[in-house]
Amino acid sequence: MSRSSKSVTTYWATPAICVVGGLAYLISAWIGGRPGLGLLLLLIMLGFGGVVLLAGRKSETVRHLLDRRDERITAIDLRASAAAGGVLIVAVLIGAFVELGRGHSGEPFTWLAAIAGVAYIVAVIHGRVRG
């Protein structure tokens, strides 16, 4: 069975993002004077991308997460992403509370929480206007 060019592009998006992200880590750490850390982070990102590709050959779930053609798996991914986002927002808020309780400004947690709040509001408005 041949894949459409859109599904091939979607399939390779995650590994490509791993490569770009790894290179961004490498460059950032190198500029910051820690090239060894940059190389380590690049290797971690490349390793993760490779694991995803290999897992996609053996696992139907991973394969469907990569090509986005299965509505059920896409819905599972959406719920998992929402759960991860919710956990991350709670962690950011806790970080802000702890930093404020220590007498600090709460940064960077306060601005991360603000970004999350604005992103949520924009997404709700976008979904409402679109739907």
3-state SS of 90-110 is HHHHHHHHHHHHCCCCCCCHH
pLDDT band at 6 (very low <50, low <70, confident <90, very high): low
* Closest to 46 measured CA to CA, from 24, 78, 29, 72: 24
More confidently predicted of 43 and 76: 43
Mean of the pLDDT values across residues 88-106? 96
Here the tokens at position 64 are: 């469907």
The confidence score (pLDDT) of residue 73 equals 84
pLDDT above 50 (res 52) = yes
Instruction: Please give the C-alpha separations between residue 39 and each of 24, 84, 88, 91, in angstroms, as whole numbers.
Output: 11, 27, 27, 28
Q: Locate all alpha helices (DSSP H) within 2-108, ordered by sequence.
A: 5-31, 35-58, 60-67, 71-101
Mean of the pLDDT values across residues 62-91? 88
More confidently predicted of 1 and 82: 82
Residue with tokens 């709460």: 106
More confidently predicted of 116 and 3: 116
Percent of the chain with pLDDT over 70: 92
Residues in the chain: 131
pLDDT band at 7 (very low <50, low <70, confident <90, very high): low
pLDDT above 70 (res 1) = no
Using CA atoms, how far apart are residues 73 and 64, in angstroms rounded to an integer? 6
